[in-house]
Amino acid sequence: MTGVSRRAFLATGSSGLAVPLFAGRAHAADFDVVVVGAGAAGISATREMRRAGLTVALVEAGSRVGGRVHTDMETFGVPYDIGAHWLHNRQSNPFVDYGAANGFTVYEAPSEGILYVGDRPATDTEYRAYDKAIRKANKAMARAGRKGLDVSPASVMPDLGDWALTANQHLGAYEIAKDFNHFSCLDWYSGGDGTDYYCRQGFGQLFAHSARGVAADLNVSVERIKWGGQGVEVDTDNGTLRARAVVVTVSTGVLASGDIRFDPPLPERKQEAIDLLTMGHYLHIALQISDNFFGVGEDGFFAFKVTDHSDGAPKGFGALVDASGTGITYCDLGGEFARQMSQAGGAVLYDYVVGELKKAFGSRVESAITADSSFDWTSNPLTYGAYASAEPGGAWSREDLRRQVADRLWFAGEALSVDDWSTVAGAHKSGALAAQGVVRVLAR
Q: What is the CATH number of the domain that holds 174?
A: 3.90.660.10
pLDDT (tens digit per residue) in 335-346: 999 999 988 877
Half-sphere exposure of 244 (CA within 13 A, CB side): 14
Residue-wise burial string across 119-130, b where 16 or more C-beta atoms lie within 10 A, e elsewhere: eeebeeebbebb
pLDDT in the model for residue 419: 86
% residues pLDDT > 70 (the chain): 93
Split at pLDDT 50, 70, 90, the class of 21 is low
Residues 252-260: what's their mean pLDDT?
Answer: 97
CA distance 296 to 300: 5
Other CB atoms within a 10 A radius of the CB of residue 161 amount to 11
Say if strands 300-304 and 309-310 run parallel, antiparallel, or are unpaired. unpaired
pLDDT of 418 above 80: yes
- CB contact set of 395 (below 8 Å; sequence gap of 6+): 150, 184, 186, 187, 190
**Whole-number Å distance between alpha carbons of 192 and 185:** 14
- Is residue 270 in some structural domain? no
Give the model's confidence band at 229: pLDDT under 50 very low, under 70 low, under 90 confident, else very high.
confident
H or E element, residue 36 = strand 31-36
Confidence grade of residue 75 (pLDDT, cut at 50, 70, 90): very high
- pLDDT beyond 70 at 39: yes
pLDDT in the model for residue 209: 98
Residue 359 lies in a domain: yes
Neighbours of 444 (CB within 10 A): 5
- Look at residue 344 in the predicted model and tell me its pLDDT: 86
Where does 238-297 have alpha helices with state H?
A: 252-257, 268-276
Residue 436 forms part of a structural domain = no
14 has a pLDDT exceeding 70: no
pLDDT in the model for residue 345: 78
**Low-confidence winner among 27-41, 79-93, 150-164, 254-268 (lowest mean pLDDT):** 27-41
| 416-440: b (≥16 Cβ within 10 Å) or e | bbeebbbbbbbbbbbbbbbbebbbe
pLDDT in the model for residue 273 = 98
Per-residue model confidence as pLDDT tens digits over 425-437: 999 999 999 999 9
Residue 263, classified by CB atoms within 10 Å of its CB into exposed (0-12), middle (13-18) or buried (19+), is middle
Per residue in 353-412, pLDDT (tens digit) is: 999 999 999 999 999 999 999 999 888 999 999 999 999 999 999 999 999 999 999 999
Mean pLDDT of 2-28: 37
Q: Is there a domain that residue 266 lies in?
A: no
Residue 23 lies in a domain: no
What are the tens digits of pLDDT across the range 290-302?
Answer: 999 999 999 999 9
Q: Is the pLDDT of residue 51 over 90?
A: yes
pLDDT reported for residue 404: 97
Of residues 247 and 444, more confidently modeled: 247
- Does some domain include residue 103? no
For residues 397 and 24, which has the higher predicted lDDT (pLDDT)?
Answer: 397
Averaged pLDDT of the chain:
92
Q: What is the pLDDT of residues 147-185, one digit of tens each?
A: 999 999 999 999 999 999 999 999 999 999 999 999 999
Residue 2 in this model has a pLDDT that exceeds 90: no
The angle at the Cα of 346, spanning 84 to 170, to the nearest 5 degrees, equals 50
Give me the number of domains the chain comprises. 1
Residue 285's DSSP bridge partners are 331, 374
Residue 198, Cβ density class (10 Å: 0-12 exposed, 13-18 middle, ≥19 buried): buried
What is the band of 4 on the pLDDT scale with cuts at 50, 70, 90?
Answer: very low
Q: Assess if residue 397 is contained within a domain.
A: no
Q: 311 lies in which domain range?
A: 110-186+279-376
Average the pLDDT over each of 88-97, 128-137, 139-148 and give the range with the smallest value. 88-97
pLDDT at position 29, please?
Answer: 62
Say if 15 falls within a structural domain.
Answer: no
